[in-house]
């Protein structure tokens, strides 16, 4: 598979994870004069001048929270970055624009899209875990915001940042690939199958179950190819190729409006709309498409307006 970055991926920040366990080092990073802060207000990150807003201490002023409430994101170009939640009831004033992540990420660089998603995911996790899930006592942050610990000495339950693993799979069989259409999509839009892994289930088992549930197609084996964060709010899409034993389809669980087998000729004809090129879904399709001699999928895309309009990547559910 090509190394081209997918949404919300890439080495956009040095996470500097070892520093989180050193309170003195975290305090020094917090106090450093060139440290910058990524504010998140009501799950909305901030952009300014077409980039993720990296505010100074002076720009935040009285809105700067206590260090204990901030989350250490890492180092970027020698500067420490913290995510900070703004508790204002109304949108805070000042330069820049708070907005929904889906809206903002199309207006910044791929690296800044990753950074905004990272900051928002951490702040959202804090907002959703203000109290202990075991005993209900308030939590407090440790490890620079990466652990939330119950404040009750009788409990001490520790929570860690949440990720929801979801499989996404391109199923193929004898020069055909299997794509599905969700009920809310236009009639010509198709993508790979996807679904959440469940507790007590290996990812390969989730691939077999989801494909069977959605299309009644059986899988002989599957192979991991690539992954993509999908932070709405906390999914991680884990991409596979899988080989089917047959091509009979029956829609079992009602999640899909339609599922069809496509040949390369059909995909290359421009009659259907595929996911955007920076999605792991497109990478899976392209990887399969380009595994035989002939024009690549990206060539057909560029020359034949293969993607006729911008599309959101497939959600996992
Ligand atoms: Zn507790």
Domains 17-128 and 164-304 share a fold: yes
Q: Indicate the class that CATH gives domain 17-128.
A: alpha beta
Q: Yes or no: say if 180 and 163 are a contact pair by the CB < 8 Å rule.
A: no
Strands annotated E in 120-163: 139-142, 147-150, 158-159
Residues of the chain with pLDDT under 50: 302-317
Cα→Cα distances 283→170, 237, 238, 273, Å: 10, 12, 12, 14
pLDDT at 4: 55
* Site of tokens 């002023």: 61
What pLDDT does 304 receive? 32
Q: How far apart are CA 312 and CA 228, in angstroms?
A: 14
Q: SS3 helix, strand, coil % of the chain, rounded to 5?
A: 30, 30, 40
CA of 232 to the centre of ligand 1 (A): 27
Residues with CB in 5 Å of ion ligand 1: 132, 134-135, 137, 150, 152, 155, 157
Question: Helices (DSSP H) in 129-249: which residue ranges?
Answer: 203-215
What is the distance between the alpha carbons of residues 189 and 180, in angstroms, rounded to a whole number?
8
Closest CA to 123 of 103, 98, 106: 98
| CB-CB contact of 196 with 268 (8 Å) | no
Beta-bridged to residue 131, according to DSSP, are 138
Question: Facing residues of 228 across strands?
Answer: 237
d(CA 292, CA 269): 17
The helix (H) or strand (E) run that includes residue 280 is: helix 280-289
CA of 233 to the centre of ligand 1 (A): 24
Residue 303: the pLDDT is 32
Distance in Å, CA 132 to ligand 1 centroid:
5
What's the pLDDT at 204?
Answer: 97
Can you state the angle between helices 297-304 and 280-289, rounded to 10 degrees? 110
pLDDT at residue 314 in the model: 41
* Cβ atoms of 116 and 101 closer than 8 Å: yes
Ligand 1 centroid vs 127 CA: distance in angstroms? 16
Q: Phi/psi class of residue 54: alpha, beta or left (left: φ > 0; alpha: ψ in -120 to 50)?
A: beta
Query: Residue 150 C-alpha to ligand 1 middle, in angstroms?
Result: 5
| Domain layout of the chain by residue ranges | 17-128, 131-161, 164-304
**What spatial distance separates the first Cα and last Cα of the chain, rounded to whole Å?**
25
Tokens representing 285 are 């399709």
Q: Please tell me the predicted confidence (pLDDT) of residue 3.
A: 55
| Ligand 1 centroid to residue 137 C-alpha, Å | 5
| Residue carrying the six token digits 């380009």 | 290
For residue 20, how far is its CA from the centre of ligand 1 (angstroms)?
Answer: 23
**Residue 42: partners with Cβ closer than 8 Å, 6 or more residues away:** 98
Task: Fill in the DSSP letter of residue 253.
Answer: S
* Distance in angstroms (rounded) separating the CA atoms of residues 224 and 205: 12
Quote the CA–CA distance of 306 and 108 in Å, as a whole number: 24
How remote is the CA of residue 145 from the centroid of ligand 1, in Å? 17
In CATH terms, the superfamily for domain 164-304 is Nucleoside Triphosphate Pyrophosphohydrolase (3.90.79.10)
pLDDT for residue 312 = 42
């Amino acid at each position: 598979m090509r190394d081209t970055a997918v949404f919300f991926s890439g080495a956009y920040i040095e996470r500097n994870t070892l520093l989180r366990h050193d309170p003195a080092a975290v305090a020094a990073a917090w106090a450093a004069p060139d440290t910058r802060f990524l504010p998140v207000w009501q799950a909305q990150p901030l952009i300014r001048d077409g980039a993720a807003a990296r505010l100074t201490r002076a720009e935040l002023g009285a809105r700067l929270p206590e260090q204990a409430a901030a989350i250490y994101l890492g180092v970027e170009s020698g500067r420490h970055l913290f995510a900070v939640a703004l508790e204002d009831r109304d949108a805070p004033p000042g330069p820049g624009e708070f907005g929904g992540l889906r809206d903002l990420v199309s207006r910044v660089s791929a690296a800044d899209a990753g950074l905004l998603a990272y900051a928002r995911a951490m702040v959202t996790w804090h907002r959703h875990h203000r109290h202990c899930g075991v005993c209900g006592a308030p939590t407090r942050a440790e490890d620079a915001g990466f652990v939330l610990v119950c404040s009750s000495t009788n409990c001490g339950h520790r929570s860690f940042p949440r990720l929801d693993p979801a499989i996404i799979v391109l199923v193929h069989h004898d020069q055909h690939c299997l794509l599905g259409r969700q009920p809310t999509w236009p009639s010509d839009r198709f993508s790979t199958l996807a679904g959440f892994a469940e507790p007590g289930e290996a990812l390969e088992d989730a691939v077999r179950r989801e494909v069977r549930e959605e299309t009644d197609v059986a899988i002989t084996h599957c192979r991991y190819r690539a992954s993509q964060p999908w932070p709405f709010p906390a999914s991680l899409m884990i991409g596979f190729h899988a080989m089917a034993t047959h091509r009979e389809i029956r829609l079992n669980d009602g999640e899909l409006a339609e599922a069809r087998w496509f040949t390369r000729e059909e995909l290359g004809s421009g009659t259907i709309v595929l996911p955007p090129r920076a999605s792991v879904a497109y990478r899976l399709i392209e990887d399969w498409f380009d595994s035989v001699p002939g024009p690549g999928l990206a060539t057909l895309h560029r020359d034949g307006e293969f993607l006729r309009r911008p599309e959101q990547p497939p959600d996992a559910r």
